[in-house]
Chain A
């Protein structure tokens, strides 16, 4: 366990110099929130940005040839993978809080009211979006060099999301009982976003462990 914590700390130090970029995202998200008629999309912007930001750890790893450092440290490959997913989850939670605060600020200053259901739906789906991005991208980054896969890695979650939305729209009747259920049980929207996201992350983490175990440093 202590090595997983050390691995999380190491990931933090690897990303540390990039954290200032978050300020740019705050401004970007605020700008979009002010310009759009639908400020809660701030949450989508931040979740997609956060997922890509976490991917940059692999870019720094590659650029600085950190395979040598990881090859020398008394640290198991499984611990590296688990540590990275936990660190990502922690950053994701912080970014989620930031997204909520920014959205509420923009809604307040623009004097826009949205229902609790809509707010929770946006938040829940942005959590799910973040988790899907990470779940699809991380195994690819653990398998291939970041520079070779960076563009390709963005495609699968985007394609999955588009397919999901299209299916949903084309089969609205099929989904209507589900929507009714969620209107009556709004707390379940939270659960579905968080639980489905965590399940995706768990499977992705297992897959990454298998992939990284066989990767030469």
Chain B
């Protein structure tokens, strides 16, 4: 299987925060959710992928090419939507195209204006006068108008209302429908990913907790609930993000532990959101689960 993106043993040390041996790969034609709580290292990883910051170790290959040695060639094929607008606020919508189109060999003005029409973006309106949702759509229109094969989204849905988020997911589903394009979708709003992601990479405090298919992730962990007397020493070692209260406990366990549990313990299928919450509660350094 061809990988659109391969990240291998990536390390970055900021002193007070570090990324440690980050490794994952995104097969071509799929959507990967890149999940983690705020400050877990998602944006740093994306900045490293885009060579906006220097790495300490590891390597990144995009379309099989090194992201530093072949940076400009790679960036012709990458589209990026960041959490906030990255254009001059005084630009009008049509000026955004004038400023950036020259950089892309495959820029398609007709397609750009089609997106503007379908997103109801007024071309004479200034960027600063656009709503949060419209700014995101403008960035998407720019991102999707140069035939990019890899779309990288960094928290594009944060601050958007549910309707705008749903619209974005529809746009993304349509964008990858030809099977040639891949999406790396960084977010902490996991409900978005439950709908569209094929793969999930879960990052916590600079470490990869899980990377693999979404289905495998959801089958790999279960939420358990039980009485305090059922929280044995063995279980305490295996349970992730345990929370105790007067009447009992809740936590997350790997699927391999489920068979060993007492029958009185309630076992529930987990969601990505729950997995994220439980691993964020865990103080100890996690084992990697892939």
A residues with CB within 8 A of B? 2-3, 5-6, 9-10, 13-14, 16-17, 60, 64-69, 71-76, 216-217
Contacts and interface: CB of A to CB of B under 8 A. Distances in A.
Given A67-B52, A75-B72, A9 B99 contact: yes
A74 B50 contact: no
B43 to A, nearest CB: 11
- Sorted nearest first, the 6 A-B pairs with minimum C-beta distance are A74-B75, A68-B86, A71-B52, A6-B102, A217-B52, A13-B99
B75 A72 contact: yes
Given A13-B95, A216-B54, A217-B53, A75 B88 contact: no
B72 A74 contact: yes
Interface string B33-75: 0000000000000010011111000000000000000011111
A72 B88 contact: no
Among A13, A64, A66, A72, residue most surrounded by chain B Cβ atoms (within 10 Å): A72
Contacts of B53: 216-217
Q: Is the interface of A mostly helix, strand, loop or mixed?
A: helix
Interface in B205-237: none
B44 to A, nearest CB: 11
B177 interface: no
A74 B104 contact: yes
B100 to A, nearest CB: 7
B86 A72 contact: yes
B77 to A, nearest CB: 9
A67 B87 CA distance: 10
- Interface bracket on B: 20 to 34
A74 B103 contact: yes
Given A64-B87, A73-B75, A76-B72, A10 B99 contact: yes
A17 B84 CA distance: 21
Nearest to B99: A13
A60 B72 contact: no
A68 B46 CA distance: 11
B91 interface: yes
B95 A66 contact: no
B98 interface: yes
Given A60-B88, A64-B87, A69-B86, 10 more contacts: A6-B102, A13-B88, A64-B88, A68-B82, A71-B50, A72-B75, A72-B78, A72-B82, A75-B75, A75-B103
B23 interface: no
B80 interface: yes
Contacts of A69: 86-87, 100
Contacts of A217: 47, 52-53
Contacts of A74: 71-76, 103-104
B90 interface: yes
B173 to A, nearest CB: 23
A1 to B, nearest CB: 12
B89 interface: yes
Contact of B86 (A3, A17, A65): A65
Nearest to B79: A72
20 contacts: A10-B99, A10-B100, A13-B91, A16-B95, A64-B86, A64-B87, A64-B89, A65-B86, A66-B86, A67-B52, A68-B82, A69-B87, A72-B75, A73-B75, A73-B100, A74-B71, A74-B75, A74-B104, A216-B52, A217-B53
